[in-house]
């Protein structure tokens, strides 16, 4: 089911959380709302769920106006960062909650819960209480609970934010596969660009209550629309008013025209590539990414003075640094 949010504005006192935001999410897609804290991404998600109401604008779920609909009538699944598990209920009872509210027959509920327990790989934990589960297990339970009533859309608010790094990566992978299996329109909120790039097919980049850019991961990385997207999605260096990706910088040992003089601070090599951290003559930090092979050929060392040259750069209008 598609989701449209049109011209949404929301203030909390003097703070403008959302400023005339519009997004469109296709039926069956997996979309990330990406942005730093305070960018309005969670507020937008909560407005779609009906947990907050917009001051202006409208929300359409599969074409129907849901702007004033109460959350319980929207039929959306919502997953919270801190799980929001019903602590006094077992895992089974948690998952069955939405079905019990809908007064489904007992046998049907039991079957549905069995199926979901299998889907989230918690078959052996049905009779435990949330307090007896790990964070990752609790979040999987919360997902099963949200999916149980067959929601029209699934909304996840920083779903992996409270988990440790390894579990987070596992669950990311798992969410992607789950989405392929269930195919419910899904929006998840994250401040972690790697997470968004890894999981989502469409990313909405938000900043200060506005949408900066919408696109797939490749578009955002290769064709950032604004300075903010350039430096928030992937790594970026700033050379005056130009922006350069770390792998678009070349290091040479002798002065060259257009070269920026810099001193090597640190060299790290692991995995496929190597990284050189430098400080320019003006005192700005720079990051260069290159293959380990190339690094060996260049014979660089810490403290050395080098010149870096941009192979490909980018300028943005209105960056405040004058014309490019």
Partner 1 sequence: MRRYLLRGTAILYLLVVLLGPLSMVFWRTFENGAGDAWAALTTPETIHAFKVTIVIALIAVPLNTAFGVVCALAIVRQGFPGKGIVNALVDLPLALSPVVVGLSLFLLYGQDGWFGGWLHRHDVQVLFALPAMVLVTIFVSLPFVAREVVPTLREIGDEQEQAARTLGASGWQTFWRVTLPSIRWAVVYGVVLTTARCLGEYGAVAVVSGRIEGQTETATLRVEERYQNFDLAGAYAISLVLAAIAVLVLVGMTVIKPREEAI
Cα 146 to Cα 155: distance, rounded to the nearest angstrom: 9
Cα 320 to Cα 201: distance, rounded to the nearest angstrom: 32
> Using the rule CB under 8 A, is 298 a contact of partner 1?
no
Q: Which is nearer to partner 1, 146 or 244 (CB)?
A: 146
Alpha helix locations (H) across the chain?
41-49, 91-101, 106-119, 135-147, 165-182, 193-199, 217-222, 227-232, 292-298
257 alpha carbon, distance to own chain's centre: 40
Contact (CB, 8 A) for 225 and 213: yes
Cα 116 to Cα 86: distance, rounded to the nearest angstrom: 17
Closest CA to 76 of 61, 63, 56: 61
Name the segment binding partner 1 (CB under 8 A); options: 17-25, 82-90, 117-125, 164-172.
Answer: 82-90
Contact (CB, 8 A) for 19 and 9: yes
Name the segment binding partner 1 (CB under 8 A); options: 27-35, 49-57, 110-118, 293-301.
Answer: 49-57
> Using the rule CB under 8 A, is 88 a contact of partner 1?
yes
Interface with partner 1 (CB under 8 A), residue from 34, 54, 78, 138: 78
> Using the rule CB under 8 A, is 125 a contact of partner 1?
no
Interface with partner 1 (CB under 8 A), residue from 16, 84, 182, 279: 84
> Using the rule CB under 8 A, is 30 a contact of partner 1?
no
Name the segment binding partner 1 (CB under 8 A); options: 37-45, 74-82, 193-201, 288-296.
Answer: 74-82
Interface with partner 1 (CB under 8 A), residue from 5, 33, 85, 141: 85
Name the segment binding partner 1 (CB under 8 A); options: 47-55, 211-219, 244-252, 309-317.
Answer: 47-55
Q: Which is nearer to partner 1, 140 or 238 (CB)?
A: 140
Q: How would DSSP label each residue in 146-191?
A: HHTT--SEEEEESTTTTS-HHHHHHHHHHHHHHHHHH--EEEEEES
Name the segment binding partner 1 (CB under 8 A); options: 72-80, 222-230, 259-267, 274-282.
Answer: 72-80
| β-pairing verdict for 153-157 and 76-79 | parallel
Binding site for partner 1 (CB under 8 A): 49-51, 70-78, 80, 82, 84-88, 97-98, 101-102, 129, 131, 142, 145-146, 148-149
């Amino acid at each position: 089911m598609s989701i449209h949010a049109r011209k949404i504005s929301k203030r909390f006192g003097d703070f403008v959380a959302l400023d005339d935001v519009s997004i469109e999410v296709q039926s069956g897609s997996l979309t990330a709302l990406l942005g730093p804290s305070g960018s309005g991404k969670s507020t937008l998600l909560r407005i779609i769920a009906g947990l907050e109401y917009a001051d202006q604008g409208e929300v359409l779920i599969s074409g129907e106006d849901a702007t004033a609909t109460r959350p319980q009538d929207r039929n959306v699944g919502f997953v919270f960062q801190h799980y929001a598990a019903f602590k006094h209920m077992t895992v089974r009872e948690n998952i069955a909650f939405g079905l019990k509210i809908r007064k489904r027959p007992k046998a049907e509920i039991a079957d549905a819960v069995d199926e979901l327990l299998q889907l989230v790989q918690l078959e052996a934990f049905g009779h435990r209480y949330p307090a007896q589960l790990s964070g990752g297990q609790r979040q999987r339970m919360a997902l099963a609970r949200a999916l149980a009533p067959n929601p029209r859309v699934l909304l996840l608010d920083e779903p992996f934010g409270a988990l440790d790094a390894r579990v987070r990566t596992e669950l990311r992978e798992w969410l992607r596969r789950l989405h392929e299996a269930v195919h419910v329109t899904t929006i998840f909120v994250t401040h972690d660009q790697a997470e968004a790039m890894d999981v989502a097919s469409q990313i909405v980049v938000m900043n200060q209550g506005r949408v900066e850019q919408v696109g797939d991961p490749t578009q955002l990385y290769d064709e950032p629309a604004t300075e903010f997207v350039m430096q928030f999605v992937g790594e970026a260096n700033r050379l005056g008013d130009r922006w350069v990706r770390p792998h678009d910088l070349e290091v040479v040992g002798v002065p060259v025209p257009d070269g920026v003089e810099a001193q090597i601070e640190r060299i790290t090599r692991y995995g496929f590539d190597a990284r050189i951290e430098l400080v320019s003559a003006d005192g700005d930090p720079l990051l260069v990414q290159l293959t380990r092979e190339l690094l060996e050929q260049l014979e660089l060392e810490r403290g050395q003075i080098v010149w870096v040259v941009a192979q490909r750069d980018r300028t943005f209008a209105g960056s405040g640094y004058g014309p490019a």
